[in-house]
């Protein structure tokens, strides 16, 4: 004999109110848990700069107009200013040297100098200005920089660099990093760079960006110093093995995604300079390949549309078009018509018109 189904009793009014109260509070708790987790992660992200890929500081190249362009190409790459002398910041027009567009984050300021007290002042200014990192240049080999007793020649004075790093860290809460070479002149002893890193690390620096070439202080121009001294990636890899607790970023000569991937098996990050500048759209693959970002990169046309709007806004502030376009000439590198487009945007008569519409020369909207 089949049993009749049990009758479902209706909950009392009090019980319904209790269930609704519990459900409501559960939903509120879930909402706040999600909010707090998001807030905590955002704070975590802000406190730790991701240096898995970065665009190198390049004198006269990586100004704010160049960096705005590079940010359109990669949402995640760490960007650097060109090297700025501490005296230019402390005695000059701070806004001209330090201002940047909010979209440029994450962004690091690279300083040139050697006096600990001056570098400390600039580190504090960098933090107050909103930079995410402040970097000390110990790798530039130019004679002009050497005459100011900073750049690559500082590698011969590790205690001076250590004192500067300590003063900078005491003056600010953002990351203080050092960019340097693997040696000076023709001294290829690994002990030299190992001892330099060890001394500076004791002052509290935990991130070293290592250009995998020696700096020849005499006999080579800065341009030749980027090509003639041989690349020795094995030295950078050895630093990571000897200092596993430090963040080691390799720089120099990397120009393919395969090379980036290979280097990331040995070190914590890769910095690319000239290749990113001359073939900038190469950066559009970085977010997906290095960071696993599923978002589709902007097309060249979408980027050009944003550059036009940016140029118009900057010109309204009195910035000449030519100051911006010189950094954007590589956008169509390797594409049909790229040479004619570059030639048009390099024409002084065209640029003198200060009309952002010239960006669309030969380009179908």
Domain borders along the chain are 59-291, 300-360
Please classify residue 182 by burial: count the beta carbons closer than 10 Å to its beta carbon, then call 0-12 exposed, 13-18 middle and 19+ buried. buried
pLDDT value, residue 17: 46
Burial string for 61-97 (b: 16+ CB within 10 Å, else e) reads: bbbbbbbbbbbbbbebbbbbbbbbbbebbeeeeeeeb
Predicted confidence band of residue 48 (pLDDT cuts 50, 70, 90):
confident
CB 83 within 8 A of CB 113: no
Predicted confidence band of residue 146 (pLDDT cuts 50, 70, 90):
low
Closest CA to 79 of 67, 96, 65, 69: 67
pLDDT value, residue 364: 78
d(CA 245, CA 64): 33
Task: Provide the mean pLDDT of the chain.
Answer: 89
pLDDT value, residue 13: 52
pLDDT value, residue 250: 98
Predicted confidence band of residue 323 (pLDDT cuts 50, 70, 90):
very high
3-state secondary structure of 128: helix
Under CATH, which number does the domain 59-291 receive? 3.20.20.70
The percentage of residues in the chain with a pLDDT greater than 70, rounded to a whole number, is 86
Fold of 300-360: 1.20.120
Q: Which of 66, 122, 140, 205 is catalytic?
A: 140
Check if 66 is active-site. Answer: no
For 212-269, the pLDDT digits (tens) are 999 999 888 888 988 899 999 999 999 999 999 999 999 999 999 999 999 999 999 9
With a CB cutoff of 8 Å and minimum separation 6, the contacts of 284 are 73, 74, 297, 298
Closest CA to 337 of 294, 311, 304, 306: 304
Better-predicted residue by pLDDT, 4 or 78: 78
pLDDT value, residue 14: 47
pTM to 2 decimal places: 0.86
CA-based torsion, 310, 316, 320, 321: positive or negative = positive
Mean pLDDT of 127-150: 86
3-state secondary structure of 238: helix
pLDDT value, residue 149: 74
Q: Where are the beta strands (DSSP E) in 132-197?
A: 133-138, 175-184
CB 99 within 8 A of CB 319: no
How many H-runs (helices) and E-runs (strands) does the chain carry? Answer: 17, 9
* pLDDT greater than 70 at residue 21: no
* pLDDT greater than 50 at residue 6: no
CB 112 within 8 A of CB 162: no
* pLDDT greater than 80 at residue 311: yes
Q: Which helix (H) or strand (E) holds 97?
A: helix 94-98
Better-predicted residue by pLDDT, 226 or 328: 328
The two tokens of residue 337 are 């018509």
pLDDT value, residue 218: 85
For 88-103, the pLDDT digits (tens) are 999 999 999 999 999 9
**Stretch among 42-46, 128-132, 262-266, 295-299 having the lowest mean pLDDT:** 42-46
């Amino acid at each position: 004999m089949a049993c009749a189904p049990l009758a479902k009793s209706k909950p009392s009014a009090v019980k319904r109110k209790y269930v609704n109260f519990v459900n409501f509070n559960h939903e509120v708790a879930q909402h706040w848990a999600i909010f707090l987790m998001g807030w905590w992660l955002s704070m975590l992200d802000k406190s730790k700069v991701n240096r898995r890929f970065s665009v190198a500081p390049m004198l006269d190249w990586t100004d704010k107009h160049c960096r705005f362009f590079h940010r359109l190409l990669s949402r995640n790459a760490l960007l650097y200013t060109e090297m700025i002398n501490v005296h230019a910041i402390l005695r000059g027009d701070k806004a001209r040297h330090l201002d940047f567009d909010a979209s440029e984050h994450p962004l690091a300021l690279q300083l040139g100098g050697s006096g600990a007290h001056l570098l400390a002042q600039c580190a504090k200014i960098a933090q107050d200005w909103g930079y995410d990192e402040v970097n000390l240049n110990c790798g530039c080999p130019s004679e002009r920089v050497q005459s100011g007793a900073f750049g690559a020649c500082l590698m011969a004075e590790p205690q001076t660099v250590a004192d500067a790093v300590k003063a900078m860290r005491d003056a600010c809460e953002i990351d203080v990093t050092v960019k340097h070479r693997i040696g000076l002149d023709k001294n290829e002893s690994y002990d030299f760079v190992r001892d330099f890193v060890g001394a500076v690390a004791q002052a509290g620096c935990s991130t070293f960006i290592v250009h995998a070439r020696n700096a020849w202080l005499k006999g080579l121009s800065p341009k030749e110093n980027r090509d003639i001294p041989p690349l020795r990636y094995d030295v950078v890899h050895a630093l990571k093995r000897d200092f596993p607790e430090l963040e080691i970023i390799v720089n120099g000569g990397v120009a393919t995604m395969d090379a980036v991937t290979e280097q990331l098996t040995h070190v914590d990050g890769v910095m690319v300079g000239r290749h990113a500048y001359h073939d900038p759209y190469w950066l559009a693959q970085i977010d997906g390949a290095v960071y696993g970002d599923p978002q589709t990169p902007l097309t060249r046309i979408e980027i050009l549309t944003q550059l036009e709007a940016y140029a118009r806004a900057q010109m309204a502030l009195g910035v000449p078009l030519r100051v911006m376009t010189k950094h954007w000439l590589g956008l169509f590198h390797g594409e049909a018509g790229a040479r004619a487009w570059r030639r048009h945007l390099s024409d002084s008569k065209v640029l003198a018109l200060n009309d952002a519409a010239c960006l669309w020369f030969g380009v179908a909207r």
